[in-house]
Amino acid sequence: MAKPGILRITARCAVAGILVFSSLVKAEGQTGEQVFTTCSACHLATGAGIPGAFPPLTKLPDLYAKEGGKDYLISVVLQGLSGPIQSQGTGYNGFMQAFGSSLTDTEIAAVLAYVLTEIASPGLQQGSQITASDVSQIREKIANGQWKSSHELRSALTMP
């Protein structure tokens, strides 16, 4: 009669394990790949975008490499972007919402890393240097009104 008892205990441990695991996943937030499913609604799963409507994310390493490029990319996800831009020879004058209140610093750093290494072509070989702490510093400056709009930041980058 020992066997069914052991089975019951094993089953209970498994259930407890699953509960602990799912709460850990929740506490740590979404991975970059998971966050990207939100972005891909507009920028597409390939990151190619839709000419004239949603700019491509496949050439973001070019922007990232510029002075101020890292801060610009963080700023777009935190506070959104609106106003006329040129990307790969095509004009855009749309509106992207801010994700600062729906994504954590870690999730924003993770989704940018995912885009820069996995979606971009060619992707960054050495990995992204954007950290959650970079995001948190910019988040704080935005909250204190010490930060420019994403559009102003982009205009200050010299475009390819």
Q: What are the residues binding ligand HEC (CB under 6 A)?
A: 35, 38-39, 41-43, 54-55, 57, 60, 63, 73, 76-77, 81-83, 85, 87, 92-96, 99, 111, 115, 154
Q: How far is the CB of 88 from ligand HEC (least distance, A)?
A: 8
Q: How far is the CB of 43 from ligand HEC (least distance, A)?
A: 6
Cβ proximity to ligand HEC, 94 vs 123, nearer residue: 94
Q: How far is the CB of 86 from ligand HEC (least distance, A)?
A: 8
Distance from CA of residue 138 to its chain's centroid? 14
Angle formed at CA 124 by CA 120 and CA 127, multiple of 5 degrees: 120
String of b and e for 71-109 (b: at least 16 CB within 10 Å)?
bbbbbbbbbbbeeebebeeeebeeebebbbeebbbbbbb
Cβ proximity to ligand HEC, 69 vs 137, nearer residue: 69
Cβ proximity to ligand HEC, 54 vs 147, nearer residue: 54
User: Measured on CA atoms in the order 113, 103, 53, 86, is the torsion positive or negative?
Assistant: negative
